[in-house]
Chains A and B, each alone.
Chain A
Amino acid sequence: MTNHRLTTCPPRQKRPFFIRRGPMENIATVLISAGFLMLFQPFLLVLYTYSLAALLAGTVMFIIVSKFPE
């Protein structure tokens, strides 16, 4: 149990896209929103069926990527 806080590191140049926080968080946000639209849309039952999967994936992803440094 160290006293280090999991916050931003000093900026390092050229971190690969998929382990940077900002863009990945946006992807997760889009996934959650998509899940919501699927839950709410009146057109296709199949989309409703898979809305939980999208929401769950988005939420889990959000929690994970929010640990990534900027």
Chain B
Amino acid sequence: MTDAPSTIAERSAEVLVRSTPTVIARRVRGLSDRAIAWLFITPTIALLLAINIFPLIWAVYLSFTNFRANRPNAEITGVGLRNYQRVLNDPDIWIAMQTTAHFVFWTILLQTVIGFSLAYLIDRKFRGHAFWTTVILIPMMLSPAVVGNFWRFLYQPQIGLFNYIVSYFSGIPPSSFEMLGSVSLAPWAIIIVDTWMWTPYVMLICLAGLRSIPDYIYEAAEVDRASAWRQFWSITVPMALPFIMLAVLFRGIENFKMFDMVMLLTGGGPGSTTEVASITLKREAFESWLTGRSSAFAIILFVAVFGLANIYVKALNKVKQR
């Protein structure tokens, strides 16, 4: 662990060393509070250092080299910032980013609109709303990979249920379109599955937001004779906004990393129309074996997610204060 120049790492190690004599001294009569605190926290930190931080530092190191994992015995030479320059000037990776952006934008838009509407309706508290809420929540708990794999069957041009239902309502012959095989439809096939799966997530958080609005605010608005429309836009939406932001940020982070579903539905195809950043990264790292370069790419994605995570925690604290 000594080659991990993380300040947190050094500090926690230092404290552990310092508190060790105390541990032994107090063994008989019970441990001091500080010893217990570190004794309880250190295993978790140690595990995270070993499985998360150490590999991350290794990846940072590799991103400055021309290392290739399929040639472990070849000499490793440093290449400076060249890997980063390449990744950040590569038009293909830039296009993968745009594909990712396309997914992130549409899935978040659809999920927020549908999720918020559902939450608003469930908040009417009709009979049996608790039961139906649970039913709606089921898709988000399932494995995206296993369910995504089955959607491939639903999307089959001739025999698939999806095409059948679409043709039943629209009259288009079910074998005339291929959701997964056509360049224009494949992104939407993935967006539909993602929306089906994760709308409940947004709905659940929005519902918590709506329920956090105290009744007296509406009562006061009612006294002031504010119209229902006005109440919706000047009370409901602003009061639920921190919650909506939380859901949007989290879905944003998750969909930025989207991998399972795309891998199983289209594998990035047809061509590279659905090749999102994670798929490109997987190709560079585990098919082309450009480990150094893909490490640089991974670090870029990591920095992006880390930045968003900071904002996410800020949003989390804002919601917590409510």
**Complex: A in contact with B (CB within 8 Å):** yes
Q: Show the binding face of A for B, using Cβ within 8 Å.
A: 1, 25, 28-29, 32-33, 35-36, 39-42, 45, 48-52, 55-56, 58-59, 62-63, 66
Question: Please, which residues of chain A bring their CB within 8 A of the CB of B307?
Answer: 32, 35-36, 55, 58-59, 62
Grouping DSSP codes into helix (H, G, I), strand (E, B) and loop, the B interface class, with mixed when no group exceeds half, is helix
Q: Show the binding face of B for A, using Cβ within 8 Å.
A: 15, 18, 84, 88-89, 91, 94, 97-98, 100-101, 104, 300, 303-304, 306-308, 310-311, 314
- Residue of A whose beta carbon sits closest to that of B87: A52
Once the chains are docked, how many angstroms separate the CA of A15 from the CA of B266? 55
Could you tell me if B94 and A52 are in contact, using CB atoms closer than 8 angstroms? Answer: no
Question: Please, which residues of chain A bring their CB within 8 A of the CB of B89?
Answer: 45, 49
- Residue of B whose beta carbon sits closest to that of A1: B15
> Could you tell me the distance in whole angstroms from the C-beta of A37 to the nearest C-beta in chain B?
9
List the 6 closest A-B pairs by CB distance, nearest first. Answer: A40-B101, A32-B307, A59-B307, A49-B88, A62-B310, A42-B98
Given B97, B100, B101, B303, which contacts A59 in the complex, CB threshold below 8 Å? B303
- Residue of A whose beta carbon sits closest to that of B89: A49
A-B contact pairs, 6 of them (CB 8 A): A25-B314, A35-B304, A40-B97, A55-B304, A56-B303, A62-B307
Question: Please, which residues of chain B bring their CB within 8 A of the CB of A41?
Answer: 98, 101
Once the chains are docked, how many angstroms separate the CA of A2 from the CA of B70? 49
Could you tell me if A32 and B308 are in contact, using CB atoms closer than 8 angstroms? Answer: yes
With A45-B89, A55-B304 given, is the CB distance from A39 to B15 under 8 Å? no
Could you tell me if A39 and B310 are in contact, using CB atoms closer than 8 angstroms? Answer: no
